[in-house]
Amino acid sequence: MRAPKLDSNASSFGFSRVLARPLHWFPFPCRGPPVHSSLVCSSCSRPSSSWPQYDGGGSSKRTGVQVPGGGVLGAGGAGVPRAGVPGAGCRGAPLLVAILGATATGKSRLALDLAERHGGEIISCDSTAVYRYFDIGTDKVPVSERRGVPHHLIDIVEPTETYSAAQFARDAARVVRDITERGKLPILVGGTGFYYRALTRGLFEGAGRDDALRARLHAMSARRRTPFLHRMVARLDPLSATRIMPRDEKRLVRALEVYFLTGQPLSAHFAETRSALPGYRILALALRLPSALVAERVTRRVNEQFARGVVGEVRRLLAAAVPEEAHPFSGLVYRQILELLHGVRDEEATRALIVRENKRYARRQLIWFRKEPNLHWLDGAGEWPTTLAAAELALDTWRLAHGTDS
Protein backbone atom coordinates (compact mmCIF):
# COMPACT_ATOMS: atom_id res chain seq x y z
CA MET A 1 0.00 0.00 0.00
CA ARG A 2 1.36 3.40 -0.90
CA ALA A 3 1.91 6.11 1.66
CA PRO A 4 -1.09 8.42 1.95
CA LYS A 5 -0.97 11.66 0.00
CA LEU A 6 -2.18 15.02 1.19
CA ASP A 7 -3.60 17.61 -1.16
CA SER A 8 -2.34 21.14 -0.52
CA ASN A 9 -5.92 22.42 -0.39
CA ALA A 10 -7.01 19.96 2.28
CA SER A 11 -6.20 22.37 5.10
CA SER A 12 -9.44 24.25 4.39
CA PHE A 13 -11.42 21.69 6.36
CA GLY A 14 -9.27 21.86 9.48
CA PHE A 15 -6.19 19.75 8.77
CA SER A 16 -3.79 22.23 10.39
CA ARG A 17 -5.93 22.41 13.53
CA VAL A 18 -5.99 18.62 13.75
CA LEU A 19 -2.21 18.37 13.53
CA ALA A 20 -1.81 20.80 16.42
CA ARG A 21 -3.34 18.31 18.86
CA PRO A 22 -1.56 15.32 20.45
CA LEU A 23 -2.38 12.06 18.72
CA HIS A 24 -3.80 10.31 21.77
CA TRP A 25 -6.23 13.22 22.39
CA PHE A 26 -8.52 12.16 19.57
CA PRO A 27 -11.58 9.98 19.99
CA PHE A 28 -11.66 7.21 17.40
CA PRO A 29 -14.71 5.69 15.76
CA CYS A 30 -15.45 2.03 15.94
CA ARG A 31 -17.31 -0.39 13.72
CA GLY A 32 -19.32 -3.56 13.85
CA PRO A 33 -19.79 -6.36 13.59
CA PRO A 34 -16.23 -7.60 14.25
CA VAL A 35 -14.52 -9.48 11.43
CA HIS A 36 -10.95 -10.71 11.22
CA SER A 37 -10.29 -9.23 7.79
CA SER A 38 -11.01 -5.63 8.80
CA LEU A 39 -9.97 -3.05 11.34
CA VAL A 40 -12.18 -3.98 14.23
CA CYS A 41 -13.78 -2.45 17.25
CA SER A 42 -16.03 -4.89 19.07
CA SER A 43 -17.55 -2.26 21.35
CA CYS A 44 -20.05 -1.25 18.69
CA SER A 45 -22.28 -3.27 16.40
CA ARG A 46 -24.03 -0.50 14.52
CA PRO A 47 -24.94 -1.53 10.97
CA SER A 48 -23.00 0.06 8.15
CA SER A 49 -26.18 1.75 6.91
CA SER A 50 -26.05 4.01 9.98
CA TRP A 51 -22.55 5.30 9.29
CA PRO A 52 -22.59 9.03 8.49
CA GLN A 53 -21.31 10.48 5.26
CA TYR A 54 -18.78 13.25 4.77
CA ASP A 55 -19.99 16.27 2.87
CA GLY A 56 -16.82 17.08 0.99
CA GLY A 57 -16.43 20.76 1.69
CA GLY A 58 -14.69 22.07 -1.41
CA SER A 59 -14.65 22.50 -5.14
CA SER A 60 -14.93 19.54 -7.48
CA LYS A 61 -11.21 19.89 -8.31
CA ARG A 62 -10.14 19.21 -4.73
CA THR A 63 -8.70 15.72 -4.19
CA GLY A 64 -8.63 15.73 -0.39
CA VAL A 65 -6.71 13.21 1.72
CA GLN A 66 -6.19 9.64 0.62
CA VAL A 67 -6.65 7.57 3.78
CA PRO A 68 -4.94 4.28 4.59
CA GLY A 69 -7.19 1.47 3.39
CA GLY A 70 -8.31 3.27 0.24
CA GLY A 71 -10.64 6.10 -0.59
CA VAL A 72 -10.42 9.86 -0.29
CA LEU A 73 -11.56 12.01 2.60
CA GLY A 74 -12.58 15.58 1.85
CA ALA A 75 -13.00 15.27 -1.90
CA GLY A 76 -15.21 17.77 -3.64
CA GLY A 77 -18.93 17.17 -3.98
CA ALA A 78 -21.69 16.50 -1.50
CA GLY A 79 -22.35 13.15 0.05
CA VAL A 80 -18.90 11.68 -0.54
CA PRO A 81 -18.57 8.74 1.85
CA ARG A 82 -15.58 8.17 4.05
CA ALA A 83 -14.30 5.44 1.79
CA GLY A 84 -12.00 3.07 3.63
CA VAL A 85 -12.97 4.60 6.97
CA PRO A 86 -15.37 2.14 8.58
CA GLY A 87 -17.91 3.11 11.18
CA ALA A 88 -17.30 6.83 11.46
CA GLY A 89 -20.32 7.42 13.64
CA CYS A 90 -19.34 5.96 17.01
CA ARG A 91 -16.74 7.82 19.06
CA GLY A 92 -14.40 6.96 21.89
CA ALA A 93 -12.40 3.93 20.72
CA PRO A 94 -8.73 4.32 21.74
CA LEU A 95 -5.79 3.82 19.38
CA LEU A 96 -2.91 1.35 19.37
CA VAL A 97 -0.09 2.01 16.90
CA ALA A 98 1.86 -1.06 15.78
CA ILE A 99 5.21 -0.89 14.01
CA LEU A 100 6.02 -4.22 12.40
CA GLY A 101 8.40 -5.71 9.88
CA ALA A 102 11.37 -7.97 9.35
CA THR A 103 14.57 -7.82 11.34
CA ALA A 104 16.96 -4.91 10.71
CA THR A 105 14.37 -2.67 9.03
CA GLY A 106 14.46 0.21 11.55
CA LYS A 107 11.38 -0.58 13.64
CA SER A 108 12.88 0.47 16.98
CA ARG A 109 14.16 3.76 15.60
CA LEU A 110 10.77 4.61 14.12
CA ALA A 111 8.99 3.68 17.34
CA LEU A 112 11.28 5.92 19.39
CA ASP A 113 10.85 8.87 17.01
CA LEU A 114 7.05 8.57 17.06
CA ALA A 115 6.95 8.05 20.81
CA GLU A 116 8.91 11.26 21.37
CA ARG A 117 6.64 13.25 19.07
CA HIS A 118 3.30 11.88 20.25
CA GLY A 119 3.76 11.17 23.95
CA GLY A 120 4.03 7.43 23.44
CA GLU A 121 5.27 4.42 25.36
CA ILE A 122 6.73 1.36 23.65
CA ILE A 123 5.57 -2.24 24.07
CA SER A 124 7.98 -4.85 22.74
CA CYS A 125 6.51 -7.51 20.46
CA ASP A 126 9.57 -9.76 20.45
CA SER A 127 9.56 -13.35 21.68
CA THR A 128 13.24 -13.17 22.72
CA ALA A 129 13.37 -9.73 24.35
CA VAL A 130 11.18 -10.93 27.23
CA TYR A 131 14.10 -12.95 28.67
CA ARG A 132 16.46 -11.39 31.16
CA TYR A 133 20.24 -11.40 30.63
CA PHE A 134 19.97 -12.26 26.91
CA ASP A 135 20.81 -8.80 25.61
CA ILE A 136 23.35 -8.67 22.80
CA GLY A 137 22.09 -11.62 20.78
CA THR A 138 18.49 -10.35 20.97
CA ASP A 139 19.60 -6.85 19.98
CA LYS A 140 17.63 -5.11 22.73
CA VAL A 141 17.75 -1.34 22.63
CA PRO A 142 20.10 -0.38 25.50
CA VAL A 143 18.53 1.67 28.29
CA SER A 144 20.96 4.50 27.49
CA GLU A 145 19.53 4.71 23.95
CA ARG A 146 15.83 4.67 24.84
CA ARG A 147 15.70 8.51 25.10
CA GLY A 148 13.69 8.34 28.30
CA VAL A 149 10.78 6.62 26.54
CA PRO A 150 9.25 3.90 28.77
CA HIS A 151 9.64 0.37 27.34
CA HIS A 152 7.44 -2.54 28.38
CA LEU A 153 7.62 -6.36 28.15
CA ILE A 154 11.41 -6.43 28.03
CA ASP A 155 13.39 -8.44 30.63
CA ILE A 156 10.29 -9.80 32.37
CA VAL A 157 10.99 -13.56 32.35
CA GLU A 158 13.81 -15.67 33.80
CA PRO A 159 15.80 -17.69 31.24
CA THR A 160 14.59 -20.98 32.72
CA GLU A 161 10.93 -20.04 32.24
CA THR A 162 8.85 -20.49 29.11
CA TYR A 163 6.85 -17.57 27.76
CA SER A 164 3.99 -18.18 25.33
CA ALA A 165 2.06 -16.14 22.81
CA ALA A 166 -1.02 -16.46 25.01
CA GLN A 167 0.87 -14.95 27.95
CA PHE A 168 2.09 -12.15 25.71
CA ALA A 169 -1.45 -11.36 24.57
CA ARG A 170 -2.63 -11.06 28.17
CA ASP A 171 0.37 -9.01 29.31
CA ALA A 172 0.38 -6.72 26.27
CA ALA A 173 -3.36 -6.05 26.53
CA ARG A 174 -2.93 -5.09 30.18
CA VAL A 175 -0.02 -2.76 29.38
CA VAL A 176 -1.83 -1.16 26.43
CA ARG A 177 -4.86 -0.35 28.59
CA ASP A 178 -2.67 1.06 31.35
CA ILE A 179 -0.84 3.35 28.91
CA THR A 180 -4.13 4.55 27.44
CA GLU A 181 -5.62 5.24 30.86
CA ARG A 182 -2.63 7.43 31.68
CA GLY A 183 -3.27 9.53 28.58
CA LYS A 184 -0.30 8.22 26.60
CA LEU A 185 -0.12 6.57 23.18
CA PRO A 186 0.69 2.83 23.19
CA ILE A 187 3.15 1.86 20.44
CA LEU A 188 3.69 -1.84 19.81
CA VAL A 189 6.95 -2.64 18.02
CA GLY A 190 8.55 -5.89 16.94
CA GLY A 191 8.88 -8.64 14.42
CA THR A 192 7.23 -11.62 16.11
CA GLY A 193 4.18 -11.90 13.90
CA PHE A 194 2.60 -14.69 15.92
CA TYR A 195 2.61 -12.49 19.03
CA TYR A 196 0.99 -9.65 17.10
CA ARG A 197 -1.69 -11.99 15.80
CA ALA A 198 -2.29 -13.38 19.30
CA LEU A 199 -2.88 -9.86 20.62
CA THR A 200 -5.02 -8.50 17.82
CA ARG A 201 -6.95 -11.56 16.68
CA GLY A 202 -6.72 -14.03 19.54
CA LEU A 203 -5.42 -17.56 19.97
CA PHE A 204 -6.97 -20.97 20.18
CA GLU A 205 -5.99 -22.37 23.57
CA GLY A 206 -8.21 -25.44 23.74
CA ALA A 207 -7.56 -29.15 23.16
CA GLY A 208 -4.99 -29.25 25.96
CA ARG A 209 -1.94 -31.36 25.22
CA ASP A 210 -1.28 -35.04 24.73
CA ASP A 211 2.35 -35.81 25.60
CA ALA A 212 2.20 -39.32 24.17
CA LEU A 213 0.86 -38.02 20.86
CA ARG A 214 3.48 -35.28 20.79
CA ALA A 215 6.23 -37.81 21.41
CA ARG A 216 5.03 -39.93 18.49
CA LEU A 217 4.92 -36.89 16.20
CA HIS A 218 8.39 -35.73 17.25
CA ALA A 219 9.72 -39.25 16.68
CA MET A 220 8.13 -39.23 13.25
CA SER A 221 9.81 -35.91 12.53
CA ALA A 222 13.19 -37.29 13.61
CA ARG A 223 12.74 -40.38 11.46
CA ARG A 224 11.24 -38.82 8.32
CA ARG A 225 12.30 -35.16 8.71
CA THR A 226 10.16 -32.19 9.68
CA PRO A 227 8.87 -31.40 6.14
CA PHE A 228 7.00 -34.73 6.32
CA LEU A 229 4.90 -33.27 9.16
CA HIS A 230 4.27 -30.24 6.99
CA ARG A 231 2.91 -32.48 4.22
CA MET A 232 0.60 -34.13 6.77
CA VAL A 233 -0.67 -30.72 7.87
CA ALA A 234 -1.17 -29.72 4.23
CA ARG A 235 -3.51 -32.70 3.75
CA LEU A 236 -5.45 -32.24 7.00
CA ASP A 237 -5.39 -28.45 7.41
CA PRO A 238 -4.36 -26.70 4.16
CA LEU A 239 -4.87 -23.20 5.55
CA SER A 240 -2.57 -23.78 8.53
CA ALA A 241 0.01 -25.29 6.17
CA THR A 242 0.25 -21.96 4.36
CA ARG A 243 0.97 -20.21 7.67
CA ILE A 244 3.54 -22.61 9.13
CA MET A 245 7.04 -22.96 7.75
CA PRO A 246 7.98 -26.50 6.63
CA ARG A 247 10.69 -26.80 9.32
CA ASP A 248 8.76 -25.26 12.22
CA GLU A 249 8.43 -28.56 14.08
CA LYS A 250 6.87 -27.11 17.23
CA ARG A 251 3.94 -25.48 15.43
CA LEU A 252 3.49 -28.40 13.03
CA VAL A 253 3.21 -30.80 15.96
CA ARG A 254 0.67 -28.53 17.63
CA ALA A 255 -1.43 -28.30 14.46
CA LEU A 256 -1.51 -32.09 14.13
CA GLU A 257 -2.17 -32.53 17.84
CA VAL A 258 -5.20 -30.24 17.69
CA TYR A 259 -6.56 -32.02 14.63
CA PHE A 260 -6.24 -35.50 16.13
CA LEU A 261 -7.65 -34.44 19.53
CA THR A 262 -10.61 -32.37 18.29
CA GLY A 263 -11.31 -33.69 14.80
CA GLN A 264 -11.16 -30.13 13.47
CA PRO A 265 -8.27 -28.26 11.85
CA LEU A 266 -6.45 -25.64 13.87
CA SER A 267 -7.44 -22.97 11.33
CA ALA A 268 -11.12 -23.63 12.08
CA HIS A 269 -10.52 -23.04 15.78
CA PHE A 270 -8.57 -19.85 15.05
CA ALA A 271 -11.50 -18.54 13.02
CA GLU A 272 -13.52 -18.43 16.25
CA THR A 273 -10.98 -16.48 18.31
CA ARG A 274 -11.36 -12.88 19.50
CA SER A 275 -8.94 -10.02 19.97
CA ALA A 276 -7.38 -9.45 23.38
CA LEU A 277 -8.04 -5.73 22.83
CA PRO A 278 -11.76 -5.37 22.17
CA GLY A 279 -12.70 -1.74 21.62
CA TYR A 280 -9.31 -0.65 20.27
CA ARG A 281 -8.53 0.73 16.84
CA ILE A 282 -5.19 -0.48 15.49
CA LEU A 283 -3.04 1.43 13.02
CA ALA A 284 -0.40 -1.06 11.88
CA LEU A 285 2.63 0.38 10.08
CA ALA A 286 5.04 -2.07 8.45
CA LEU A 287 8.52 -1.20 7.22
CA ARG A 288 9.63 -2.68 3.92
CA LEU A 289 13.16 -2.69 2.49
CA PRO A 290 14.72 -4.30 -0.60
CA SER A 291 16.16 -7.71 0.19
CA ALA A 292 19.69 -6.57 -0.70
CA LEU A 293 19.49 -3.76 1.85
CA VAL A 294 18.10 -6.10 4.53
CA ALA A 295 20.99 -8.48 3.85
CA GLU A 296 23.48 -5.63 4.20
CA ARG A 297 21.96 -4.49 7.49
CA VAL A 298 21.80 -8.05 8.84
CA THR A 299 25.49 -8.57 8.09
CA ARG A 300 26.37 -5.29 9.80
CA ARG A 301 24.25 -6.15 12.84
CA VAL A 302 25.82 -9.60 13.27
CA ASN A 303 29.31 -8.10 13.04
CA GLU A 304 28.34 -5.53 15.67
CA GLN A 305 27.00 -8.27 17.95
CA PHE A 306 30.33 -10.08 17.80
CA ALA A 307 32.19 -6.81 18.39
CA ARG A 308 30.00 -6.10 21.44
CA GLY A 309 30.83 -9.50 22.90
CA VAL A 310 27.97 -11.89 22.21
CA VAL A 311 30.31 -14.87 22.67
CA GLY A 312 31.30 -13.58 26.09
CA GLU A 313 27.62 -13.05 26.93
CA VAL A 314 26.91 -16.73 26.27
CA ARG A 315 29.91 -17.77 28.37
CA ARG A 316 28.67 -15.64 31.27
CA LEU A 317 25.17 -17.13 31.01
CA LEU A 318 26.56 -20.66 31.10
CA ALA A 319 28.81 -19.75 34.03
CA ALA A 320 25.72 -18.44 35.84
CA ALA A 321 24.20 -21.95 35.53
CA VAL A 322 21.69 -21.10 32.81
CA PRO A 323 21.16 -24.52 31.19
CA GLU A 324 21.75 -24.98 27.49
CA GLU A 325 18.20 -26.34 27.28
CA ALA A 326 16.78 -22.95 28.35
CA HIS A 327 14.34 -21.67 25.76
CA PRO A 328 16.22 -18.48 24.76
CA PHE A 329 19.29 -20.58 23.89
CA SER A 330 17.24 -22.16 21.09
CA GLY A 331 16.94 -18.84 19.28
CA LEU A 332 18.99 -17.36 16.48
CA VAL A 333 22.54 -16.33 17.39
CA TYR A 334 22.57 -18.17 20.73
CA ARG A 335 22.10 -21.62 19.22
CA GLN A 336 25.01 -21.05 16.85
CA ILE A 337 27.22 -19.57 19.58
CA LEU A 338 26.69 -22.70 21.70
CA GLU A 339 27.86 -24.78 18.74
CA LEU A 340 30.89 -22.50 18.42
CA LEU A 341 31.79 -23.10 22.08
CA HIS A 342 31.38 -26.85 21.56
CA GLY A 343 33.83 -26.74 18.64
CA VAL A 344 31.31 -27.53 15.92
CA ARG A 345 32.72 -24.73 13.76
CA ASP A 346 35.11 -21.80 14.12
CA GLU A 347 34.12 -18.17 14.71
CA GLU A 348 34.31 -17.14 11.07
CA ALA A 349 32.04 -19.99 9.98
CA THR A 350 29.71 -19.30 12.91
CA ARG A 351 29.41 -15.66 11.97
CA ALA A 352 28.62 -16.55 8.36
CA LEU A 353 26.00 -19.09 9.49
CA ILE A 354 24.29 -16.55 11.76
CA VAL A 355 24.14 -14.07 8.88
CA ARG A 356 22.54 -16.70 6.61
CA GLU A 357 20.02 -17.77 9.25
CA ASN A 358 19.05 -14.16 9.97
CA LYS A 359 18.50 -13.50 6.27
CA ARG A 360 16.22 -16.54 6.09
CA TYR A 361 14.39 -15.39 9.19
CA ALA A 362 13.87 -11.93 7.67
CA ARG A 363 12.35 -13.54 4.58
CA ARG A 364 9.99 -15.63 6.72
CA GLN A 365 8.96 -12.52 8.65
CA LEU A 366 8.18 -10.68 5.43
CA ILE A 367 6.09 -13.60 4.17
CA TRP A 368 4.18 -13.64 7.46
CA PHE A 369 3.42 -9.93 7.53
CA ARG A 370 2.35 -9.92 3.89
CA LYS A 371 -0.47 -12.23 4.96
CA GLU A 372 -1.58 -9.92 7.78
CA PRO A 373 -4.58 -7.77 6.84
CA ASN A 374 -4.67 -3.99 7.09
CA LEU A 375 -0.96 -3.24 7.28
CA HIS A 376 0.10 0.18 6.01
CA TRP A 377 3.44 -0.44 4.31
CA LEU A 378 6.18 2.20 4.47
CA ASP A 379 9.27 2.32 2.28
CA GLY A 380 12.25 2.30 4.63
CA ALA A 381 14.93 2.29 1.94
CA GLY A 382 15.25 6.03 1.41
CA GLU A 383 16.52 8.82 3.64
CA TRP A 384 15.30 8.44 7.21
CA PRO A 385 13.49 11.83 7.33
CA THR A 386 11.41 10.65 4.36
CA THR A 387 10.45 7.41 6.10
CA LEU A 388 9.61 9.26 9.31
CA ALA A 389 7.54 11.82 7.39
CA ALA A 390 5.56 9.02 5.72
CA ALA A 391 4.83 7.48 9.12
CA GLU A 392 3.82 10.87 10.55
CA LEU A 393 1.52 11.50 7.61
CA ALA A 394 -0.09 8.09 8.02
CA LEU A 395 -0.76 8.87 11.69
CA ASP A 396 -2.03 12.37 11.02
CA THR A 397 -4.26 11.19 8.18
CA TRP A 398 -5.57 8.40 10.36
CA ARG A 399 -6.61 10.69 13.18
CA LEU A 400 -8.11 13.17 10.73
CA ALA A 401 -10.16 10.42 9.10
CA HIS A 402 -11.28 8.89 12.39
CA GLY A 403 -11.44 11.93 14.66
CA THR A 404 -13.24 15.26 14.47
CA ASP A 405 -13.86 16.96 11.16
CA SER A 406 -13.02 20.49 12.30
The rounded distance, in Å, linking the Cα atoms of 52 and 39 is 18
Burial of 143 (0-12, 13-18, 19+ CB in 10 A): exposed
Does a cis peptide bond (omega within 30 degrees of 0) precede residue 373? Answer: no
Q: What is the pLDDT along the chain (406 residues), one digit of tens a residue?
A: 444 343 333 333 232 332 333 433 333 333 333 333 333 333 333 333 332 222 222 333 333 333 344 333 333 333 222 223 332 333 558 999 999 999 999 999 999 999 999 999 999 999 999 999 999 999 999 999 999 999 999 999 999 999 999 999 999 999 999 999 999 999 999 999 999 999 998 887 666 778 899 999 999 999 999 999 999 999 999 988 988 888 889 889 988 988 898 888 888 876 767 788 988 999 999 999 999 999 999 999 999 999 999 999 999 999 999 999 999 999 999 999 999 999 999 999 999 999 999 999 999 999 999 989 899 999 999 899 999 999 999 999 888 877 633 2
User: Who contacts 240 (Cβ-Cβ below 8 Å, separation ≥6)?
Assistant: 233, 255, 265, 266, 267
Domains detected in the chain: 8-92+396-401 (no CATH), 95-196+278-388 (3.40.50.300), 211-270 (1.10.20.140)
The reported pTM is 0.69
Torsion of CA 66, 67, 68, 69, to 10 degrees: -90
